[in-house]
Amino acid sequence: MIEKSFSGALPDMRREFDLYAFQKTIRDLYAIFVDSDIAKKVSDDQVEVMYSIGHAMFMQGKLEKALNVFQVILLYRPLDARVIEACATTLKKMGKFEEAIPTYAAAMVFGDLENPMPSIHIAECLAALGRADDSERILRPLLDSAKLDSAFTDIRRRAENLLSMLRSTN
């Protein structure tokens, strides 16, 4: 799905770049795409069946096949954050951390920006690549967020454990 590896520094989030406005623009474009002939060739029910097959393959450890299924779904539902995240998680499980990072970032943009899960996955990928400082830069704002205290306590614990591990290896 992604041919270039991610090895550069994390981009700065400048004030003039509005991620929410970008997300709205992309979703507006997607609304146009949904009405196209290619999007209508596969029904939502068919997408769900394909997703179930991909998920089953993932759970059975057939990662290459699972990734292929998820990528086929993305041909018809290119902005489906759940499928993008499934691709990213499959790549991560395959040890393709450099490919997983921008795929998780896409899941963030096309999904719920308030969902901290893709950020945790990105931090884990960065840690696996030996990029502890970058991983910590992702974790710090998450751990400073009050949202992790209420709705995402398991994610908070996961982030704290990763941060602790990163600090103990430095």
pLDDT string in tens for the chain (170-residue length): 334 444 445 555 555 656 677 677 777 777 777 777 777 788 889 999 999 999 999 999 999 999 999 999 998 888 899 999 999 999 999 999 999 999 999 998 888 878 889 999 999 999 999 999 999 999 988 888 776 666 677 888 899 999 999 988 76
Together in a domain, 29 and 91: yes
pLDDT of residue 6: 45
pLDDT of residue 78: 87
Question: Which range of residues forms the domain containing residue 131?
Answer: 114-170
pLDDT of residue 19: 64
Separation of alpha carbons 25 and 18, rounded Å = 11
Statement: the pTM of the whole predicted model exceeds 0.85: no
pLDDT of residue 60: 98
In a domain, 5, yes or no: no
120 membership: H or E segment, kind and range: helix 117-128
Residue 57 identity: M
For the chain, how many structural domains are there in total? 2
pLDDT of residue 142: 84
> Could you say which of 45, 64, 95 is where a domain stops?
95
pLDDT of residue 15: 52
pLDDT of residue 27: 73
Together in a domain, 75 and 129: no
Together in a domain, 27 and 88: yes
pLDDT of residue 4: 42
Q: What are 102's two structure tokens?
A: 């921008």
How long is the chain? 170
